[in-house]
Amino acid sequence: MEVVILTGASRGLGAALADQLLSSERRLVCIARKPNPLLEQKARDRKAWLDYYLQDLTEIEASDMLAQSICDELPADASRLTLINNAGMVEPVARASALPNDQLVRALNLNVAAAMLFSSRFLKGTEDFAGERRILNISSGAARSPYAGWSVYCATKAALDMFSRCVKLEEAVRPNPARIVSLAPGVVDTDMQATVRELDPEDFPNVERFRNLKATNQLASAEEAARRIVLYMARADFGTTEVDDVRNYSTSSEQPSS
């Protein structure tokens, strides 16, 4: 049985990923700040193995303890072990001269530190695992293109990209290297996007672009984005390109588009 650990599973893309990964043939371990009653009901209906932990991942010490506990108990006989670092936040949105201290720290903790800690505990806890290990970090196009007002979001997602590059180099010399990818999912119609569309142009000058994406139906649904990510996760060449974008691939299969 495959085991998948997923952070940020209560809403948006994370909830959609959890729904698609929920199966009687897979153990799904979710971590989120809020409950997801619908997912728990679906797990009962599908007779699926779901472990759901409530944890605010901006609280680093408690999050590290939880990551340690989960990763220490991963089954040695699993067919594959996968970690998906999905939890993230877009706030604070402000010019660098006006960044609020509390939101800045929360964003750094959630978008970077929590993902690094879960990856660290996962790699350490699975060192002797004989099967395949995969880490998927949910990145963003904002990691690779600067936006005024999004300095924190862009920088934290770029940090996740570079972290993935470094881990790939470290794992390459190991006997059973873990595979890692930092994947941009495209622009997804979630609560985060709704928040972005309400921003003041003074804080986020590109707000009109995102309003237009919604108005012209150019946003992917959370369900469609999750479907494409799950297909990507199943690729035989997962990890070959450690910083990637799901939009580079066909929408109909896991194979690269021609």
Which residues are catalytically annotated? 153
Place of tokens 């153990």: 27
Under 8 Å between Cβ of 180 and 244: no
| Degrees, nearest 5: CA angle 66-225-194 | 85
Under 8 Å between Cβ of 7 and 57: yes
Tokens representing residue 89 in the block: 């936040």
Query: Which residues are CB-neighbours of 258 under 8 A, at least 6 positions away?
Result: 250
Determine whether 128 is exposed, middle or buried from the number of CB atoms within 10 Å of its CB (0-12, 13-18, 19+): exposed
Say whether the peptide bond before residue 92 is cis (omega within 30 degrees of 0): yes
